[in-house]
Amino acid sequence: MELIKKLEWRYATKKFDPAKKVSQADIEKLKQAVQLSVSSYGLQLYKVLIIEDLAIREELKPASWNQNQITDASHLFVFCNQKRVNPDEIDAFIRLTSETRNIDYEKLKGYGDFIKTKLDEKSEAEQTSWLERQPYLALSTLLMACAELKIDACPMEGFEPEKYNEILGLDKKGLNAVVIATVGYRDISDRSQNLPKVRKPMERLFEEIKHKVQNSVMSI
């Protein structure tokens, strides 16, 4: 399985070579992969900013715990969740589905109403939590696509979302920076690339349930 080999190759790159840039052709491939990423109900209630401009990344660096990846990498991906569920977004998704699959809109409207009902059942805090989890699905796809193309990446939560929101003007767009990823090519001096991966053994990570066990509590 080639994917396993690619995932064994990748690591959270700590030191990028600032002289090496990801081509626009490869950036377009990464964008296409993220576009195809799974999302709850297929709604994609997030936006992904791709920042190449060094001046902007220099401004963001202090809000990123002064981590050098922000400025040394080729590009910075900022994954932003929508702050609220807008019913119009659901209607737009249903219309897009209707057009894409050549299905009458009225036949799909009930599914849109179902989505609205399920999301309305969530409290404001639950909706916020749900919205903030959505971009992580796209982030995972980005990391796998980078591995496929032998492009290095580092997912990062070590930053100040409020300052990112301010610097990038996200608040007025109804967006919130929730997770970021730097993308580029590793520096040959980055010692992290040669370290063995530390992962839980299979028997601790997985538990296969092949039949229902009566009157028992699964151990965790």
Domain harbouring 137, CATH code? 3.40.109.10
pLDDT at position 18 over 50: yes
- Per-residue pLDDT, averaged over 146-162, amounts to 98
| Residue 111 banded pLDDT, cuts 50, 70, 90 | very high
pLDDT at position 210 over 70: yes
Q: How buried is residue 39: exposed, middle or buried, by Cβ count under 10 Å (0-12/13-18/19+)?
A: middle
Read out DSSP for 24-64? Answer: HHHHHHHHHHHHT---GGG---EEEEEE--HHHHHHHGGGG
For residue 190, give its domain range. Answer: 2-205
| Residue 134 banded pLDDT, cuts 50, 70, 90 | very high
Decide if 217 is inside a domain: no
- Per-residue pLDDT, averaged over 98-125, amounts to 97
Residue 24 has a pLDDT of 98
pLDDT at position 220 over 50: no
Decide if 195 is inside a domain: yes
pLDDT at position 33 over 90: yes
Per cent of the chain over pLDDT 90 is 95
CA distance 135 to 129: 11
- Per-residue pLDDT, averaged over 48-56, amounts to 98
Decide if 211 is inside a domain: no
- Per-residue pLDDT, averaged over 139-155, amounts to 98
CA distance 56 to 184: 17
- Per-residue pLDDT, averaged over 74-89, amounts to 97
- Per-residue pLDDT, averaged over 12-19, amounts to 98
Q: What is the DSSP letter of 187?
A: -
Type and span of the H or E element at 156: strand 152-156
Question: What average pLDDT does the chain have?
Answer: 96
Number of domains into which the chain is organized = 1
Decide if 41 is inside a domain: yes
Decide if 171 is inside a domain: yes
- Per-residue pLDDT, averaged over 100-106, amounts to 98
Decide if 214 is inside a domain: no
CA distance 80 to 70: 17
Decide if 154 is inside a domain: yes
Residue 211 has a pLDDT of 85
Decide if 213 is inside a domain: no
